[in-house]
């Protein structure tokens, strides 16, 4: 009797598929993946990989980006209900209204957004390249959607005027300064590393701010040995795997994204068996939305 992992591996070969997973996925999903990364790295691999089928273990917008960058490939999301509430907070109508109000501004859209919103944006960004993307634009005014926290973080590093949308990540938004106070008290020697989706108060109180990959790299390269992590708890798996002799604590036990946890090994197996759910994007949207991603990749 084959284990579920063995069945997934065999099917993956048969389908000429690659499994990509985000750092917030369940441990066993990360373990079965061919590549685990942050949003930017997952898009890059999806764009460049040779396999004909991409199984994207993450949330919908990540699978959408993979399809935009590899329209000729079959992109599957194991659990079609894995959405991102932040991505749903901004609509194309919101962007059009902001553009009308600020006609000289460029629209920078965080990849945590729908294909429809990407299609009417000037350029996309992720949490790891948002500063560079904003700096690369000639405009003095930037409409930044949907994440008000990432936008606020970026605004500290530029003279440009950022016009922020009101979106946020419910998982990162529910972290308060009390969590930092408790962590500093309970782990006085630890460095606090947080994601820029956290609020300004949390970012101000942290020792390091970065995307998921940047947090992992920081902890791995640091001479410090104890860290408090201010992002989704799935990241503990790669952190501990890369740093078996270092100690990691979570800033809050509630740091869980329910959507990221919707993908299980059973869903991955089913997805490869039935080749579902396939991401399909309207031809009309494909060209415009992929442009905003390609422009992001062109920023050095
Ligand atoms: P990263 O791009 O840093 O992996 O973040 C993705 C995300 O959804 C954070 O909530
Ligand atoms: Fe969306 Fe937040 Fe979950 Fe990231 S952690 S996928 S931003 S809800």
DSSP letter, residue 235: G
Give the other-Cβ count within 10 Å of 206's Cβ.
21
Residue 287 lies in a domain: no
**Residue-level length of the chain:** 300
pTM: 0.97
Find out whether the beta carbon of 38 lies less than 6 Å from any atom of ligand 1: yes
Residue-wise pLDDT tens digits, 18-45 = 999 999 999 999 999 999 999 999 999 9
Residue 43 lies in a domain: yes
Residue-wise pLDDT tens digits, 86-131 = 999 999 999 999 999 999 999 999 999 999 999 999 999 999 999 9
Beta strand 106-110 with 123-125 is parallel
Find out whether the beta carbon of 111 lies less than 6 Å from any atom of ligand 2: no
Residue 293 lies in a domain: no
Quote the ligand 2 centre to 147 CA distance (angstroms). Answer: 11
Q: What is the CA radius of gyration of the chain?
A: 19
User: Which atom, in ligand 1's list, is nearest to the CA of 171?
Assistant: 10
CATH number for 157: 3.40.50.10800
Residue-wise pLDDT tens digits, 219-239 = 999 999 999 999 999 999 999
Give the residue whose CA is nearest to atom 4 of ligand 1.
38
Q: How many whole angstroms separate alpha carbon 244 and alpha carbon 239? A: 8
Alpha helices in 108-176 (DSSP H): 115-119, 130-136, 148-155, 170-173
Q: What's the domain range around 73? A: 4-82+260-280
Instruction: Mark whether 189 and 219 lie in a shared domain.
Output: yes
């Amino acid at each position: 009797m084959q284990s579920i992992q063995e069945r997934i591996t065999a099917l993956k070969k048969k389908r000429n598929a690659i499994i990509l997973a985000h750092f917030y996925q369940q441990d066993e999903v990360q373990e079965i993946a061919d590549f685990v990364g942050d949003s930017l790295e997952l898009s890059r691999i999806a764009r460049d990989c040779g396999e004909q089928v991409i199984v994207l273990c993450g949330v919908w917008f990540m699978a959408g980006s993979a399809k935009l960058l590899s329209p000729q490939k079959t992109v599957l999301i194991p659990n079609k209900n894995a959405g991102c509430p932040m991505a749903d907070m901004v609509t194309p109508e919101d962007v059009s209204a902001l553009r009308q109000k600020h006609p000289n501004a460029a629209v920078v859209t965080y990849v945590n957004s729908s294909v429809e919103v990407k299609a009417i944006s000037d350029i996309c960004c992720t949490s790891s390249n948002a500063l560079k993307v904003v700096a690369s634009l000639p405009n003095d005014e930037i409409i930044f959607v949907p994440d008000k926290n990432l936008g606020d973080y970026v605004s500290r590093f530029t003279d440009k005027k950022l016009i922020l949308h009101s979106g946020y990540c419910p998982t990162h938004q529910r972290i308060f300064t009390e969590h930092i106070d408790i962590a500093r008290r309970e782990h006085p020697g630890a460095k606090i590393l947080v994601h820029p989706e956290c609020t300004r108060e949390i970012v101000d109180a942290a020792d390091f701010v970065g995307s998921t990959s940047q947090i992992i790299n920081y902890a791995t390269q640091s001479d410090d040995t104890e860290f408090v992590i201010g992002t989704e708890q799935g990241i503990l798996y790669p952190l501990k795997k890369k740093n078996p002799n270092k100690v990691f604590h979570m800033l809050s036990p509630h740091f869980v994204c329910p959507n990221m946890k919707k993908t299980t090994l059973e869903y991955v197996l089913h997805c490869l068996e039935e080749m579902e759910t396939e991401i399909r994007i309207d031809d009309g949207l494909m060209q415009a939305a992929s442009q905003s991603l390609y422009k992001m990749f062109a920023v050095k």
